[in-house]
Amino acid sequence: MLILVSVQKSHLFLPIGWYNDEIRIKTEVFIDVDVQYESIGVNDELENTIDYAEIHRLLKALSVNSYKLLESFGEDFLRQSKEKFAHLNLKFIKIRIQKPQILESGSDCESQFIEMKVEF
């Protein structure tokens, strides 16, 4: 059976951006994470599934690092979550990082996002 574990709209402020002001004031982001794995059967043991709290802890731990690009943050998350959940028969891990504001004036864009996915 395929199981999808999803965390939606995790609200963080990351020291991320190309411009020093973005890093200094931190950038507001909303992060969605989907992790799909195959399970032989469901039981009540936490080690046989993905703990939502582990996803949140990993996002928070990475949020103290400075990055220039959202893609760099996403790549770190994908790599570390692959290691953390290696005991499961993973099918894919996907991260979507939405940045609702931009510093450049004159933009009529409501938000922008990047989405990255690794399949196994």
Q: In which band, very low, low, confident or very high, does the pLDDT at 103 lie, cut at 50, 70 and 90? A: low
In the chain, the percentage of residues whose pLDDT exceeds 70 is 95
Q: How high is the pLDDT of residue 96? A: 98
DSSP letter string over the chain? -EEEEEEEEEEEEE-B-SSHHHHHH-EEEEEEEEEEEE-S---S-GGGS--HHHHHHHHHHHTTS-BS-HHHHHHHHHHHHHHHTTTSEEEEEEEEEEE---SSTT---S-EEEEEEEE-
Q: pTM for the complete prediction?
A: 0.89
Q: How high is the pLDDT of residue 112? A: 87
List pLDDT tens digits, range 41-83: 777 777 788 999 999 999 999 999 999 999 999 999 999 999 9
Q: Name the fold adopted by 2-119.
A: GTP Cyclohydrolase I, domain 2 (3.30.1130)
